[in-house]
Amino acid sequence: PALEFSSREGQRLFQEALADSSMGGFFRLIEQFHTQSEPAYCGLGTLTMVLNALNIDPGKTWKGPWRWFHEGMLDCCEPLDEVKAKGITWSKWLCLARCNGLLVQAHRADEADWSEELFRQSVEDVARQRIGCAAEEGTDGMKALVVSYSRKQFNQTGDGHYSPLGGYHRATDQVLLL
């Protein structure tokens, strides 16, 4: 079930997960929180957030002297007008992540050698990492987990969606999707 982050229950779960050290990467991601600029840009918005949280250099300036990713730069695998019209497939999203400097391990729920147990282990690995700011930790080492899922499962409007994992509440087996 979906739970609003700002609800009392959501705040309690966040505090407990933080105390349990299972919010790895949350602060680096939330510093870069990005709301998609188009209805079908959830994949691009998520990738923008992750690339900036991981301090990946886009190799070009955004505005003025700032070297920062924005959705308009993510066009190496699919024209932006096509993404705007119909969203982006998982394979095209992976292509974008890789061509913008990310080392990606990708899995699908329907893979023969993938399981719920392996997914939970991936969630734990990302949620348990101890990551400070880039000045403290450098730019290497942080992992991010992005999921592509159906919003219908949460009684939300729309269907296919991308979100980065912000943390994990082990006692209730719930993740925080940003």
Per-residue pLDDT reduced to its tens digit, 127-175:
999 877 777 776 677 899 999 998 888 888 888 999 999 999 999 999 9
Q: Is residue 51 part of a domain?
A: yes
Question: pTM of the entire structure?
Answer: 0.92
The count of structural domains within the chain is 1
Q: Is residue 2 part of a domain?
A: no
Say what the pLDDT of residue 139 is: 63
Q: Is residue 3 part of a domain?
A: no
Q: Is residue 123 part of a domain?
A: yes
What CATH number did the domain enclosing 157 receive? 3.90.70.30
Q: Could you tell me the residue range of the domain that residue 148 belongs to?
A: 8-177
Q: Is residue 1 part of a domain?
A: no
> What distance in Å separates the CA atoms of residue 82 and residue 101, rounded to the nearest whole number?
22
Please give the residue that has the higher pLDDT: either 6 or 154.
6
